[in-house]
Structure 1
Amino acid sequence: MVITGASAGIGRATVRRFAADGYDVGLIARGKDGLNAAASEVMQEGRRAFVVPCDVADAEAVENAAERIENELGQIDVWVNNAMVSVFSPIAEMTADEFKRVTEVTYLGYVYGTLSALRRMRSRNRGTIVQVGSALAYRSIPLQSAYCAAKHAIIGFTDSLRCELIHDQSDVHVTVVEMPAVNTPQFSWVKSRLPNKAQPVPPIFQPEVAADAIYFAAHHCRREVWVGYSAVKAIIGQKIAPGFADHYLAKNGFVSQQTSEPQDADAPHNLWSPVDGPGGGDYGAHGSFDERARSYSPLLSLVETIPGRQLTMIGVGLGFAALVGTSLLASNSKRTRC
């Protein structure tokens, strides 16, 4: 298997998950220290690892990486697009270059990875492409406009691709895993203009939960996999009452993305290049929210045991119930004109 963004966070946890189940792993990311540490973990499982330092915003570099990995490890069975960057900032304070950079990595990086995977998988008529998505692909939140837009774009691109694969009667499978908030190191290195340090919006899940979902998606024919009840609530809520979600997030979406600790305005960030962490450039899989993060998702357990169509109906019901409950709680609050 090949994974982008392999050096840290969800990518790092996913590397461990696949290696533990017997996969050789091609690792793509910018940070060499994190890549080498991830490769060591693969080899500790008795599997082969091949590291390719690469910025996924460079289509030629991604294609060269795919070629080198196949030459070293053999045919690619699973390709996971996961690399991302973001900026926490009000839109009015964003620059054009920041929007461009987030788009090139977080959206076009998925496109380039998918194209490289397809060049190899279509001729063999087999293989799986997993897009690591987010509930924010359906329900945008304030202060992460570039990231949310990129995740929306991934859904549009993947839906088109899925239709074409069906039309061609191809056995290449493409799937999307919609993530909830995850305890990853990105909140330590993301570029931010917020007054306080950034945090994932609770409830927070450990990256191993995300890795299990990615592994499941790679081995089961599901169109999408939703991870965490909070993701279901956001996705279904957006379909049922997007206007209510706008006002709710306008009121709550700023505070919920920040801790009580002040943000250092001069803190290094990884938008343009990797940054060093406590272990040099190796951040590992976990962020700084271990005490608040959940290591188990009941919804993911349902996903793994219940057929897809039945699960969709359950998800709609849960999301609708959550939305009604939130609406009732908000009904006594001051109304905002529209």
Structure 2
Amino acid sequence: MPGTSRTYTFLGPEGTFTEAALLQVPGALQAVRVPASNVNAALEKVRDGAADAAMVPIENSVEGGVTATLDAIATGQELRIIREVLVPISFVLVAPPGTRTEGIRRVSTHGHAWAQCRLWMDKNIPDAEYVPGSSTAAAALGLLEEGCPYDAAICAPLVASEHAGLSVLAEDVGDNPGAVTRFILVSRPGVLPARTGADKTTVVVPLPEDRPGALMEILDQFASRGVNLSRIESRPTGQYLGHYFFSIDAEGHAGEARVADALAGLHRISPGTRFLGSYPRADKQETEVPAYTSDAAFSAAQSWVDSILAAECFAGESGSGASPTA
């Protein structure tokens, strides 16, 4: 939108790791940024046109997939992933000034953050009760409200530094110093990001039927074409017990012959397959493509088949007028 400020939404409030991810997007600092209370709300702002794109978490190196995001983009009006961002994660324990660690009985944070700090909590505040929060920042800001039902929160260092009413009781409370969360920027369907040689393609594939070998058929669409998978997770569709879809990240771009052929294969066996986008990898790691699955190999193979069909067609036409022998 030339000459028009873009509007982004993100899992809020301000100061979340999600906003930190958004600020890595070129131009986001100057754009309009609207926090959303949850992932569904952020994606709905994109679907109804209130925002151009939404930044939401999708995967954590400790806990795996963020189920709220996996479920929200698998259904409803189609959306496209156009970028991914990786953010190193560190946590601090905050509380109102004057709070002592031994006086903490209830601690709030986002579920994924709690999972990454459980060992620290068990060692240092073993009797503390966990209170789920919609985000780490929301949990921390809740401490500033009158009558807050918990005593402390686990959040990003940025939140604590920006609010004088929060005191840092402990730093680096995470159990995994190298923890990283992957975020995705989601927009309405449009032009695919160009191929870079270091790309990912994300799809959602419903299990066509619950029978032996059904998942193998899905995986074979990738394996037989030399397409490596970097993530695969199953999620219930919610229709009935035992009915699942698979959320899959594949290495490569839909513009590559091998990936396009795999997508076509998926659609043949599971017509409900949903394409969620091809976009550059955040780590810029180029995909190694075996020679036999390169675009040139696919093109050569198709040319070979075309030549066979053309020759057979020509032979049939040449012989069509010949009289049958006695």
Task: Answer whether TM exceeds 0.5 for this pair.
Answer: no
Higher strand share: 2
Q: Which has the larger radius of gyration?
A: 2
Higher helix share: 1
TM-score, normalised to structure 2, is 0.32
